[in-house]
Structure 1
Amino acid sequence: MIADFETGAVSVQQFTDTVSSLFPDNCLSNQDIVMAWQSVLGAPVAEIIHAARPLVASGRLLLASNTNPLHWRSVAACLLTSGIEAPAVLSFEVGHTKPSEKFFSAILEADQRVGDQAIFIDDLGRNVAAARQHGIPGRIHSDPQKTAEWLRELSAARWDS
């Protein structure tokens, strides 16, 4: 069910109805399920937000995420509040998740600059490896401070050249 939800095969209504039906007497409302589902999301990491803003300002940020419509609504609102508004390739919209070939094809189709100017950052090595197989250099994110520092250095180097 979750895989179908994250690839857009199941709507929010279908998802919440199915989860509700798993509990005795449908004791959870769809709104209860939405609130519980959203509770796993954390706040954006300030250091990464600050480091990403110059990329947003120069039109050089493309978000790519395995996500579902409920999580994306919350994440997009947090990003917007943080000053991050960028195009996105989202699994529930493209019907595929990372690390699938079709997800990376969707990234390449979303922005023609991806093929020769992108660097893919992800916390899962298998996703970074898949990006590299599609000709997109990758970096594994494991520490917010280090990723933010690397983004700042990358932004400065590219703008100075």
Structure 2
Amino acid sequence: MQEIKNIIFDFGGVLVDLDKQRCIEAFDKIGAHKIVKYVDECRQEDLFHDLEVGNTGIGDFCREVRHLSSGCKASDEEICNAWNSLLTGIPEQRLEKLASLKGRYRMVLLSNTNPIHWQKAQDGMFWHNGMDVDDYFEGTFLSYRMHMLKPDPQIFVKTLMTSDMMAYETLFIDDSPINCAAASELGMMSLNLKGDEWLDRV
């Protein structure tokens, strides 16, 4: 087996825990009832897709939420808070594991995410023992900045090239089997794991 020199981590489901039901209840509470179906079915289309590939901004996203849910008068802040309720935090043991891996591997983060969730993540989710997100990872590659989504092969190619990493020396960890299959097609090793499942595997 080829020696692993690099690790590419997914964010949602691998590092940060997700609570879909809490998010559904939050949107329902602010009257954005039409959005509940998007969250419940994990639909990555329309306004959610546009936000994740950087084709729309936070203001336009919030306006579309109100437009789709006729009668919803929620403020932009309330809508962002509802969407952020999906993220429940990064458990301490995962941050400690990242810190222990830092000297052994080159590490980057690659995520299908949006500016609302990423701002929430930057507001303290990675902070632990004096370390923050940039202390764990050499780079953060985010779909809304790259205008691409996994499993598009080009998002992996761009991440590898920008990081000066060779695919055959790189391990990719993601909770989506489709994303892992795409990474494997490019010559990376992959682990389709979520939550604490990866802690004892690397």
The count of corresponding residues between Structure 1 and Structure 2 is 150
TM-score by length of 1: 0.83
Structure number with greater CO (CA < 8 Å, separation at least 6) is 2
Residues 78 and 148 of structure 1: CA distance in aligned 2, closer, same or farther (over 3 Å) = farther
The aligned counterpart of 1:136 is 188
Q: Quick one: which of 113, 125, 147 aligns to 1:67?
A: 113
Offset of residue 59 of structure 1: 6.5
Distance 1:71 1:114 in 2: 29
5+ residue gaps in structure 1? 152-161
Asked whether the 8 Å contact 1:101–1:130 carries over to 2, the reply is yes
**Structure with more of its chain in strand, by fraction:** 2
Q: What is the alpha-carbon distance in structure 2 between the residues aligned to residue 121 and residue 68 of structure 1?
A: 19
TM-score when normalising by structure 2: 0.68
Answering whether residue 155 of structure 2 is matched by residue 109 of structure 1, we say no
Of the structure 1 ranges 117-126 and 80-89, higher mean CA displacement relative to structure 2 is found in: 80-89
Q: What is residue 150 of structure 1 aligned with on the other side?
A: 201
Aligned equivalents of 1:50, 1:12: Cα separation in 2: 32
SS of the aligned residue for 1:138 comes to: strand
Counterparts of 1:58 and 1:126 in 2: how far apart (Å)?
28
Matches within 5 A, 1:9-28: 9-28=55-74
Is the CA contact 2:90–2:126 (under 8 Å) kept in the aligned structure 1? no
* Identity over aligned pairs, percent: 25
Which of residues 162, 167, 174 is equivalent to 1:122?
Answer: 174
Distance 1:96 1:17 in 2: 23
Following TM superposition, the consecutive aligned residue runs of length 4 or more in structure 1 with deviations greater than 4 angstroms are none
State how far apart, in whole Å, the 2-side matches of 1:11 and 1:60 are.
Answer: 32
Separation of aligned partners in 1, 2:177 and 2:147: 21
1-structure distance, mates of 2:57, 2:174: 26
Q: CA deviation at 1:114?
A: 4.2
1:90 — aligned with what?
142
- Does 2:95 correspond to 1:49? yes
Gaps of 5+ in 2: 1-46
Q: Secondary structure at the match of 1:150?
A: coil
